[in-house]
Structure formats: C-alpha cells, structure tokens
Structure 1
Amino acid sequence: MIVPAPFADSQFATISGHRMHYRDAGAGRPVIMLHGNPNWSYYFRNLIDSLKATHRCLVPDHIGCGLSDKPADRDYPYRLERRISDITEWIDGLQLTEPVTLIVHDWGGMIGCGWAVEHVEQVERLVILNTGAFPLPKQKPVPWQLRLARTPGLGSLLVRGFNAFSEGAVRSCVTRCPMPADVARSYCAPYDSWSNRRAVHRFVQDIPLNEQHPSWVAVSKTAQGLHRLQSKPMMIGWGARDFVFDDHFLAEWRVRFPQAHVRYFPDCGHYILEDAQEELIPLISDFVRGKEIS
C-alpha cells in the first residue's frame, strides 16, 4: 500500500473519534481551504506556498480522504450534514481569534458554505473555485460519469475496484495540458485500495438530486442561507470545461453574488488550480491580501 508521507506542517485533530489530518502552514490572518472529491489537501499545495508568508493556511483532509482516517460505514455516516459538523468541530478546536478567508472547491463549497452561513461573523472573505452550495441547477443535466458511478453494483466496481473516479479525474479534470505523472500519482496515492476509496464513492452517492435524498435538507438549508454572505468580498475562479460544475453553476453564483470578482478561464477544467495556476494563484493571493483586483 502506498501511503503519502505527512507534510512538514502536518497536524492531526480528533473529530468525533476519528483522526483528521490538516496542514497548518505560515502565520497571520487565517485562510481555510476545503477540497472536494476525489481529492485531498494536496490540491492546494501551490496556493499554500503562495500565501504562507503572510497568512496562516489551514487545510484539512475530510474524514476518509487524504491522510485522515478512513473509517468503515458502521463507524461514520459519510453524509453532508456530518461533513459540515466535522468542519465546525475542527474550526472550533482551532480557537481562532480573527475571521477567516474561506477558499472552497468542489464538495468543499457545500461543506464550507454550510459552515459559513451559520458563522457569518467568522468569515472575512470567500474564494469560490468550480463548486456549488445549492441544488443542481434546473437546466443542468446529471453528467453520465456521475450516473455511472452511482449505479448500484457497477458504481462500486468502477470507483472502488478499478479506481476509475480518481484515475479518471487526473486525466479529464485538466484540459490545458496533461497532468504531470508525478502530480497525478500524488493525487491518487491516498486512494490505493478498495477500503481506502470508500469516501470517494460515498461522496458520489451523497449528491442530492431530489428531495428524497438524505442530504437534500442540508443542501437546501445552505442554499437558503447564502444571502447572509452577500456583504462579504468574494472572488470566483472558474474553469469553463468542467463537466460537472459548468456555466450553469457559475450563472447561479453570479445571480446570488453579483458583486463577486469573476475570473473565467475558457480553456480550463475542474482542477482549476492546476490548469490556471500561473494566472489564478497570484490573483487569489492578491485578493486574500486585500489588494485591488480589476
């Protein structure tokens, strides 16, 4: 089994009996970065390096992901409501004395905004990267890749047996140029067995597509509370060639936050911090530091 080594700044917190890994890099005003699926804190490595000279970067791996514990189903519910609770418990444990900048991608958007709408006074600004915090837009069809991964039996075989979701992401989620082999291996390293891919599959299964889904209530609650964040400075970095979080999602963000600074990359995919890193990381860093961006 290939297990990636902890970073020099790795820390661990016990969250409801499970060990959560997080990076704690730099010093200054806090920045929290939340990843999605199939991903881990490695996604933010370059942004951490850009910000840690002036800010304290706090970047967890969700339970079941990265270097965090990967509990069995009987020991952990793998539902959105619990994910939000985990992040709330973790942030409370940090005992931060200043408001945070929240940077979210993919599932990190729903989890992070789920926390943020209930802790508005603790939020300084937000950076949104190819994500959602509301139900699937009505005009957006469910991508065939997600339907396939959610198919009973077949989905488990593909996602947990053949690692098709993680291996597919490092190929299809970058569209400017292929991901370097060593970077791709690092993305997939924590998900090297049937058991260690549990969270990857459970995240896909937890996408609430209708009101009967167990996580629909949590999604709806977050969506209804987003207006509480309208006074917060927001930057949106968007890869147009994302087959899930596409322009339908971006349009929803624009309607809800018309004041947001939007940076749109027509040739970039879901892993926007890989595809557009040379342009986007300096822009995000300036925004986090309070500099004017045109």
Structure 2
Amino acid sequence: MVSTYHRFVDIEGLRVFYREAGDPEAPTVVLLHGYPTSSFMFRHLIPELADEFHVVAPDHIGFGLSDAPSADEFGYTFDALAAHTAKFLDALGVDTFAIYVQDYGAPIGWRLALADPDRVWAVVSQNGNAYEEGFVEGFWSDVWAYAAEPSAETEAALRPALGEEAIRWQYTHGVPDPAVVSPDTWRHDAALVARPGNDRAQLALFRDYVTNVRLYPALHEYLRDSRVPVLAVWGANDEIFGPAGAEAFRRHAHDPEIHLLDGGHFLLESALDEVAPVMRRFLARHS
C-alpha cells in the first residue's frame, strides 16, 4: 500500500491543504473536487492510483482544510480558484498532468487547460459538466435566477443548499443502496460549509457559476483541436449533472470513452470498485 501524505503549502499568503501519494517522477494526476466537499472525497481513490501515478489532490480555497478567507478578503470566483490552483501546481513543480474533475472541479480544470493546453495530457470527468445538456433543469433554476438578479429573495431560495440535509441528498440521491454511503461524508462537508462567513463565499460561487457556461464554446474548441484524451465516468442517476453531459463529449472530444454507471453525484462513495479500474486503464493507455 502506497502512503498518502497530508500536507500544507503557502500560496500567496493562503495555506492550501493537499493530499499527495506516489512517485513524483511518475505521470501526475490532479484530482479536483466539487461543492461542497474537498480532497476528502478522494481518500479511497488516491491509493488505487498511487502505485502507478503521482497523485495530487488540493482543497480549493474556501473548502476543506485550506484557508477560507471571508468574501471581503478573497474574491470567490472560478477564475480566482483556477488561478490559485495553477500557482499551487507551479509551487509543487508539477509541469504536466492529467485532471480528474467533478462538479466545481470541472470549471477549474477547464480554465487550467485553456490557459496552457500543453500541460494537460488527459481529462477524466466524473459528473463534471462541459455542456449545457448536462444541467438538470429543476436543480439549476434557482442558481440562474440568483445570477441574473441577486436579491434577498433569490438568495433565500439558494440558502437551503448550504445545509446538511441538502448536502446529504447530494451524496445519497441516485445511489442504488444509500446505506453504502458513510454519514461521515455529508456531516464532514456540512460542518466545514457552516464555518462563520463561509456562506457568503459559497453564495458568491453560486452567483459566478454562469461564467462557466460562457466558457463552453472555447472549451469545445479546445477539446476538438487538442484531441486531448477524454474519459467521462458518470453517475447516471445524478440530478445535478445528468448523463446527457457525459454523452455530449462525443460532439467535440476525439473518440471519448464514456461510462454511465448506476450511481449518483458522488460516484466514488458507491462505485469506487468500478471507477478505479476504468481510470487506471485509461490513464495507463495515455500517460
């Protein structure tokens, strides 16, 4: 068993927590988490990859064990999170890497790839959207309304998404047997989201999500022109980013590998034994 190391590094005055495993001389895989979690979501995947790859999984600013400055001290946008992640990778000396993106990790990963296409040698998307087809309409209507007109009313409609019940739903909805998902997951995330002032940071990112959609045409051009290998391994029962988002990669990616598995938004919690071997084969073929 390869050890996973739990480390901190200072990036422009902010302390970033990250998990790291494997030989630094091996091909690097960067795991980018989504809302409302952290690198904790990769705690079981990292050992599955680290015997063959150098694996790095940071907590984004405002999430997990990384610093969470107030929304007055840090501009919470996806541009800012991606720029900070790029500086984090530079600090670690990571020049080229594959990305595994999920939820918020996707728009952060897309920005890294668009900023320097030669750095990214493969893309694994696990319920990480790149197409408008992937948005499940009922879930996103309040997000779009808040982005279009931030107000007390539109904010109030989104605030329940910050609570433990909504976070538990993200973990258990669409899972064939929810009893396989540990309550540690949603309670861990809910406690960190509930830190004083973190609500304003998360609301800022909700409001900024629309900028990710505007990025899609450039992303599609990148997928087509770069011919970067793409694996979409997707929880088919996710009612946040639906399976149409996985199938849509066929429109621009070169011969993408697509797997729709019986699971939900946080697929690793219920289908790690299916995801890990698919990833290992894909990464080994393209590294």
When normalised by structure 2's length, the TM-score is 0.83
Q: Which amino acid is the alignment partner of residue 31 of structure 1?
A: V
Q: Is the 8 A contact 1:166 1:188 kept in 2?
A: yes
Change (3 A) 1:226 1:291: closer
| 1:81 maps to which of 71, 79, 82 | 79
Greater shift in the superposed pair: 219-228 or 79-88 = 219-228
Q: Is the 8 A contact 1:41 1:60 kept in 2?
A: yes
Deviations 1:261-293 (A, max 9, x none): 11111x31111112221111122122222389x
Q: Which amino acid is the alignment partner of residue 79 of structure 2?
A: E
Deviations 1:231-256 (A, max 9, x none): x2221101111112113312321212
Q: Is 1:238 paired with 2:240?
A: no
Q: Is the 8 A contact 2:167 2:186 kept in 1?
A: no
Q: Which amino acid is the alignment partner of residue 171 of structure 1?
A: T
Greater shift in the superposed pair: 143-152 or 179-188 = 143-152
Shift of 1:60: 0.6
Alignment gaps of 5+ in structure 1: 1-6, 209-213
When normalised by structure 1's length, the TM-score is 0.82
Deviations 1:54-97 (A, max 9, x none): 22111011100000111111111111111221111112222225
Deviations 1:121-161 (A, max 9, x none): 22222211111134x23x9553246617945341464244x
RMSD: 2.8
Greater shift in the superposed pair: 140-149 or 190-199 = 140-149
Shift of 1:195: 2.5
Where in structure 2 are the equivalents of 1:188-203 lying within 5 Å?
188-203=190-205
Q: Which amino acid is the alignment partner of residue 242 of structure 2?
A: D
Report the number of matched residues.
Answer: 275
Aligned to 2:249: 253
Q: Is the 8 A contact 1:103 1:128 kept in 2?
A: yes
Where in structure 2 are the equivalents of 1:52-131 lying within 5 Å?
52-97=50-95, 99-131=96-128
CA distance in 1 between partners of 2:52 and 2:212 (Å): 37
Q: Is the 8 A contact 1:22 1:59 kept in 2?
A: yes
| 2:276 maps to which of 271, 274, 281 | 281
| 2:223 maps to which of 208, 222, 226 | 226
Q: Is 1:169 paired with 2:150?
A: no
SS in 1 for 2:99: strand
Q: Is 1:39 paired with 2:37?
A: yes
Structure with bigger helix share is 2
Where in structure 2 are the equivalents of 1:134-149 lying within 5 Å?
134=131, 136-137=132-133, 140=135, 142-144=137-139, 147=142
| 2:21 maps to which of 25, 29, 37 | 25
Greater shift in the superposed pair: 62-71 or 184-193 = 184-193
